[in-house]
């Protein structure tokens, strides 16, 4: 065995020993309120655990990922230079998606930013997932069965926090493509001992009929699909709010921080809607999740599970940390995987972090206002910057607008870039009202076209709202 292989194996063994020390293989919750007591750890205990994990993680990454080794060498750092969260944040610049894409192009098809190589994949490989970003080269991530066990326990803590209990049964309504959200929930339901009614590969009417006949209490889907299915059921003469459904577990799109959208879905379903937030890069598990208190304050929030991930926010220009309470982009260090334990990966969603204690008893940090848009989705129109969710809030603020809307960006023959927002409403006069709402929220003028209800294509999975046909450059 060469020295290099030896060091790679030694550091992997050490990293997994540390992970194992903190792992619980639960099939039952620890109490009525918490799946694991880790949820109630003090903030100093959480930090102590983060530092302990980090100390074993950096040598592991250095010896097992060419991407990380190059980065350490380029920065003139040894792995032992980063043993604590403070050292990590002060010494290690954020890792961007572009860096990963460049690496994936140079080293196809997997890149070198993960630590699941051929040996691990052949020995205990579980699943391959792909980044779902709307821009750039897709990046793939191979995870092992070792990761799966950690994934199940973290997600069980999140689902239990959301309110799922024995007696619940779930109907997942997803395509089961290479995206982490639904698979993570699927395996976790099994680990929690909750029954599942498979709902993939059938159309919406069949799913509506499944709900009527088999009476699941939990639906697993994207927010867009939950809204779509509710409308399908209404057209069939059913009232979604009168079904057996008590919980909607949603992921894949931001929504609970989008003013108007959550309320609309709660009205439709008469159910508790809980959210999973995370990314393919720093799985296996959701990072953000709902608790029973998430709607009780001035603004909605999600918790971020900090003993398994370090969450921070950075300035969108300088990429330097912002103070607690200031709006910034999310950055995640994953302390819970043998396959993709990233250091300061720029997830890139806007939120404001708060360490204020939560009424639910969890001390894990909160993302206030939830997640309100990924920096990749930012629209820059004639130098004015805003997010599609801000347009969504303006549309939702007007009573009677349809669920669907589109944002069309075009370049006029004169060279001027313009935006037209298409909405559905019975009254064409609402165009001015919505245009004013958009102007007051985004400081941008635009045309609003009012179409008859049910004109725009219905979203079945992830909503595509923005159609950018501007001439570039």
Distance from C-alpha of 11 to C-alpha of 64, rounded to nearest angstrom: 8
Distance from C-alpha of 329 to C-alpha of 313, rounded to nearest angstrom: 5
Residues facing residue 302 across a β-bridge: 367
Distance from C-alpha of 305 to C-alpha of 160, rounded to nearest angstrom: 13
Among 9, 293, 417, 449, binds Zn ion (CB under 5 A): 293
> Smallest distance, Å, CB 358 to Zn ion?
3
> Smallest distance, Å, CB 57 to Zn ion?
27
Question: Phi then psi for 408, rounded to 5 degrees?
Answer: -110, 125
Shorter beta-carbon distance to Zn ion: residue 211 or 291? 291
* Alpha-helix runs per DSSP H in 270-418: 388-396
Distances (CA, A) of 272 to 43, 102, 108, 294, 325: 28, 41, 43, 11, 27
Please answer whether residues 299 and 368 qualify as being in contact, where contact means their C-beta atoms are separated by less than 8 angstroms. yes
> Smallest distance, Å, CB 471 to Zn ion?
47
Please answer whether residues 172 and 220 qualify as being in contact, where contact means their C-beta atoms are separated by less than 8 angstroms. yes
Distances (CA, A) of 187 to 22, 82, 101, 212: 20, 34, 29, 25
* Alpha-helix runs per DSSP H in 260-387: 261-269
Q: Can residue 18 be called a binding residue for Zn ion (CB under 5 A)? A: no
* End-to-end CA, the chain: 54
> Smallest distance, Å, CB 352 to Zn ion?
16
> Smallest distance, Å, CB 357 to Zn ion?
9
Distance from C-alpha of 26 to C-alpha of 457, rounded to nearest angstrom: 44
Q: Can residue 389 be called a binding residue for Zn ion (CB under 5 A)? A: no
Size of the site for Zn ion (CB under 5 A): 5
- For Zn ion, which stretch binds (CB under 5 A), given 128-136, 229-237, 263-271, 362-370? 362-370
- For Zn ion, which stretch binds (CB under 5 A), given 91-99, 104-112, 237-245, 284-292? 284-292
Shorter beta-carbon distance to Zn ion: residue 261 or 363? 363
- For Zn ion, which stretch binds (CB under 5 A), given 23-31, 145-153, 167-175, 352-360? 352-360
Among 158, 291, 308, 463, binds Zn ion (CB under 5 A): 291
Q: Can residue 158 be called a binding residue for Zn ion (CB under 5 A)? A: no
- For Zn ion, which stretch binds (CB under 5 A), given 49-57, 211-219, 230-238, 289-297? 289-297
Q: Can residue 211 be called a binding residue for Zn ion (CB under 5 A)? A: no
Residues facing residue 333 across a β-bridge: 310
Please answer whether residues 381 and 419 qualify as being in contact, where contact means their C-beta atoms are separated by less than 8 angstroms. yes
Q: Can residue 360 be called a binding residue for Zn ion (CB under 5 A)? A: yes
Among 38, 97, 142, 362, binds Zn ion (CB under 5 A): 362
Please answer whether residues 252 and 176 qualify as being in contact, where contact means their C-beta atoms are separated by less than 8 angstroms. no
Shorter beta-carbon distance to Zn ion: residue 156 or 358? 358
For residues 426 to 455, the per-residue mask of contacts with Zn ion, x marking binding by CB under 5 A and - elsewhere, is ------------------------------
Shorter beta-carbon distance to Zn ion: residue 291 or 304? 291
* Alpha-helix runs per DSSP H in 177-260: 180-191, 204-214, 223-235
> Smallest distance, Å, CB 233 to Zn ion?
31
Among 358, 379, 434, 446, binds Zn ion (CB under 5 A): 358
Kindly report the length of the chain.
Answer: 473
Residue list 34-53, contact with Zn ion (CB under 5 A):
none
Shorter beta-carbon distance to Zn ion: residue 352 or 362? 362
- For Zn ion, which stretch binds (CB under 5 A), given 51-59, 82-90, 134-142, 358-366? 358-366
Q: Can residue 417 be called a binding residue for Zn ion (CB under 5 A)? A: no
- Rounded to the nearest 5 percent, the helix, strand and coil shares of the chain are 35, 20, 45
- For Zn ion, which stretch binds (CB under 5 A), given 235-243, 314-322, 360-368, 392-400? 360-368
- For Zn ion, which stretch binds (CB under 5 A), given 271-279, 357-365, 421-429, 448-456? 357-365
Please answer whether residues 164 and 194 qualify as being in contact, where contact means their C-beta atoms are separated by less than 8 angstroms. yes
Distance from C-alpha of 360 to C-alpha of 33, rounded to nearest angstrom: 8
Which residues of this chain interact with Zn ion, rule CB under 5 A?
Answer: 291, 293, 358, 360, 362
């Amino acid at each position: 065995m060469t020295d290099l292989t030896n060091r790679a194996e030694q550091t992997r063994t050490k990293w997994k020993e540390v992970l194992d020390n903190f792992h619980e293989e639960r099939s039952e919750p620890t109490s009525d309120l918490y799946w694991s007591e880790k949820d109630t750890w003090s903030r100093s205990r959480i930090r102590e655990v983060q530092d302990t994990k980090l100390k074993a993680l950096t040598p592991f990454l250095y010896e097992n990922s060419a991407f990380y080794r190059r980065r350490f060498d380029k920065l003139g750092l040894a792995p032992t230079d980063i043993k604590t969260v403070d050292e990590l944040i002060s010494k290690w610049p954020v890792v961007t998606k572009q860096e990963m894409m460049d690496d994936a192009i140079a080293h196809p098809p997997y890149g070198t930013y993960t630590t699941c190589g051929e040996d691990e994949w052949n020995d205990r490989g579980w699943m391959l997932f792909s980044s779902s970003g709307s821009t750039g080269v897709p990046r793939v991530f191979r995870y092992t069965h070792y990761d799966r066990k950690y994934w199940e326990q973290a997600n069980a803590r999140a689902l239990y926090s959301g309110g799922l209990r024995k007696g619940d049964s779930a109907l997942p309504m997803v395509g089961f493509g290479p995206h982490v959200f639904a698979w993570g929930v699927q395996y976790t339901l099994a680990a929690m001992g909750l029954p599942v009614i498979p709902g993939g590969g059938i159309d919406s009417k069949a799913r509506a009929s499944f709900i009527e006949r088999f009476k699941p209490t939990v639906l697993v889907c994207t927010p867009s699909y939950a809204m779509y299915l509710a409308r399908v059921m209404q057209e069939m003469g059913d009232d979604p709010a009168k079904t057996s459904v008590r919980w909607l577990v949603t992921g894949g799109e931001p929504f609970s921080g989008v003013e108007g959208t959550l309320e609309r879905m709660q009205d439709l379903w008469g159910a508790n809607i809980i959210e999973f937030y995370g990314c393919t890069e720093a799985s296996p598990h959701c990072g953000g999740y709902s608790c029973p208190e998430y709607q009780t304050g001035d603004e909605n929030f999600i918790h971020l599970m900090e003993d398994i991930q370090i969450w921070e926010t950075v300035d969108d220009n300088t990429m330097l940390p912002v103070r607690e309470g200031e709006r910034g982009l999310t950055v995640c260090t994953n302390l819970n995987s043998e396959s993709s334990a990233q250091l300061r990966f720029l997830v890139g969603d806007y939120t404001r972090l708060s360490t204020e204690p939560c009424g639910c008893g969890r001390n894990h940090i909160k993302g206030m206002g939830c997640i309100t848009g990924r920096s990749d989705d930012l629209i820059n129109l004639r130098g004015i910057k805003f997010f599609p969710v801000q347009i969504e809030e303006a549309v939702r603020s007007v009573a009677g607008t349809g669920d669907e809307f589109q944002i069309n960006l075009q370049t006029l023959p004169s060279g001027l870039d313009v935006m037209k927002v298409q909405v559905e409403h019975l009254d064409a006069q609402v165009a001015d009202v919505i245009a004013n709402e958009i102007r007051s929220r985004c400081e941008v003028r635009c045309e609003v076209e009012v179409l008859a209800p049910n004109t725009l294509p219905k979203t079945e999975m992830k909503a595509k709202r923005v159609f950018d046909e501007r001439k570039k450059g």
